[in-house]
Amino acid sequence: MLDREPLAPTLVNRVRSDVITVSSELVRWSWARLRSLGAIGPRSRVARRFGSFGVGSIICFPGDTLVNEGAIHIGSGTLVNTGVALSAGWMPDQPDLPDRVVGIGDRCVIGAGCSIAGHLSIEIGDDVWLGRNVHITDMNHDYTDIHLPIGRQHQPEDPVVIGADSWLGHGVIVLPGSRVGRHVVIGANSVVIGEIPDFSVAVGAPARVVRRYDDGRGWVPVEHIEHIEQAGQAGQAGQVEHVEGGESAPTVPH
């Protein structure tokens, strides 16, 4: 392939090359127009099926699955990129579905290929950005009974919260019961289980906090904070032992 001989400079080859060039430009122009026309905006008929769809928000075309839009709420100025799946409940037209199962705040960016699958409650705060292929779910699969297929066992649900101003990198998975705090960074391909505190950076599977914001010192590694806290606790313990040891406090001469 790399050693391929160039085409002979004949009229036929030149015309063929021109046709291919023009055709490729036409295809790209047409695709751009289709993406623009196929996008879902606040005034579109599809948007009216959502529980709410904020001003200035858009779901780019081509999208992916949209299930029970009436229980999905999207704030203002939010961008939902191509290939994103948004679902609420177990099946289309599920009866007795709550009015709000999935909530996405204002000015969010949902990266291409993400999936947000809510069954009980998923709340994403304002100004949250998700990288590509992030998966957020509030439902898991039980596997306790070895005699019953996992898909037929209990599927426990636990609410998920993503705090405002946070950034979840490429390929992050957020599992049921997770609570990601405010202004948090989750590193690429991490798996979030449990709680991540405000103003922190977490990475890994399961995700663990590696940096936190400390007033006066800014963003510092967690081990530095833990070392200082341990030193402070040791100092306090020493003071307690000093008092409990019966040593009298110095007297002031009269």
Tell whether 194 is covered by a domain. yes
CB 206 within 8 A of CB 200: no
Distance CA 81, CA 140 (A): 26
Tell whether 6 is covered by a domain. no
pLDDT tens digits in sequence order for the chain, 254 residues long:
567 777 788 888 888 888 899 999 999 999 899 888 999 999 999 999 999 999 999 999 999 999 999 999 999 999 999 999 999 998 999 999 999 999 999 999 999 999 999 999 999 999 999 999 999 999 998 899 999 999 898 889 999 999 999 999 999 999 999 999 999 999 999 999 999 999 999 999 999 999 999 998 899 998 865 555 565 555 555 554 544 555 444 433 34
CATH number, domain of 80, equals: 2.160.10.10
Tell whether 91 is covered by a domain. yes
Q: What is the DSSP-derived secondary structure letter of residue 247?
A: P
Write the CA distances from 200 to 94, 160, 235, integer angstroms: 38, 18, 26
Tell whether 19 is covered by a domain. no
Tell whether 107 is covered by a domain. yes
Tell whether 168 is covered by a domain. yes
Residue with tokens 């199962």: 101
Domain, as residue range, for 107:
34-238
Distance CA 28, CA 138 (A): 39
Distance CA 145, CA 137 (A): 23
Q: Which of 119, 141, 183, 242 is catalytic?
A: 141
Q: Is 242 among the catalytic positions? A: no
Q: How many domains does the chain have?
A: 1
Tell whether 108 is covered by a domain. yes
Tell whether 69 is covered by a domain. yes
37 CB-contact burial (10 Å; exposed 0-12 / middle 13-18 / buried 19+): exposed
